[in-house]
Copies of this chain bind each other. A is one copy, B any other.
Amino acid sequence: MYKKWLSVLAACQLFHGMEQQDLYNMLMCLKPKIEKFEKNDFIKFAGDEFEGLGIMLSGSAAITKENSIGDRVIITVVKQGDMFGEMAAFSGHRKWPATVIAQEPSYVIFLSSEKILGECEKLCKSHRLLIMNMLKVVSNKALLLSKKLDYLSIKSIRGRISNLLLDHYNKIGTLSFMMSLNRNEMADYLNVSRPALSRELCKLRDEGILDFYKSSVVIKDIEALKLMAE
């Protein structure tokens, strides 16, 4: 039953560093349940009792929230190997904070929070690794959110762009690099409108601070860019 999905699970951050055999043994110990969903099925409904986090074995699903006027908004889409509910799993809240809807026929595996922490008698070394990975996943999620919050706390588009580019530069180390985002995605990430982003990028280019073509960027005056970054 689990054999079929071993390779998908092995690629999941949560099981990073485990041998497939150890992973299999652990699954036999955790006994997570696997469920199948059809397109548009509600995998979880906001407010449902939370028993454990989910991992997409196949297919894809939309994590959605209802805003105050009742429209359903897609927050993100999870695909094969992606996890959902990992923040709620250990937060002490016992309810699903969002609604998850299958976008196509999908298989999902659910790991109970209790069992992840649980009193596995054998306390297999994989189990310890599982908990470490879990902590790592949640910590990285928090860092990611914190990073995004940094950007959104800056009020000017110029400041957001500068910080984004400088962060990239610091990560990559070269003044010339490719962004993995196109204009629309970048505007979305920085939470600004696409034309406004475009306008500002061109201003930076006209001032001789940047050069760019599509997704490739060259920082021409890094000191000036640092000044722009708030």
Contacts and interface: CB of A to CB of B under 8 A. Distances in A.
A230 B119 CA distance: 46
A43 to B, nearest CB: 20
B153 A132 contact: no
A153 B162 CA distance: 19
Nearest to A222: B68
Contacts of A227: 68-69
Interface residues of A, number: 42
28 contacts: A67-B229, A68-B225, A68-B226, A69-B226, A69-B227, A69-B230, A87-B142, A88-B139, A88-B143, A89-B139, A90-B139, A91-B142, A92-B136, A93-B143, A117-B131, A117-B132, A117-B135, A119-B128, A123-B123, A131-B131, A131-B135, A134-B135, A138-B138, A145-B146, A148-B149, A149-B149, A152-B153, A155-B191
Interface of A: 67-69, 87-93, 97, 117, 119, 123, 128, 131-132, 134-136, 138-143, 145-146, 148-149, 152-153, 155, 162-163, 166, 191, 225-227, 229-230
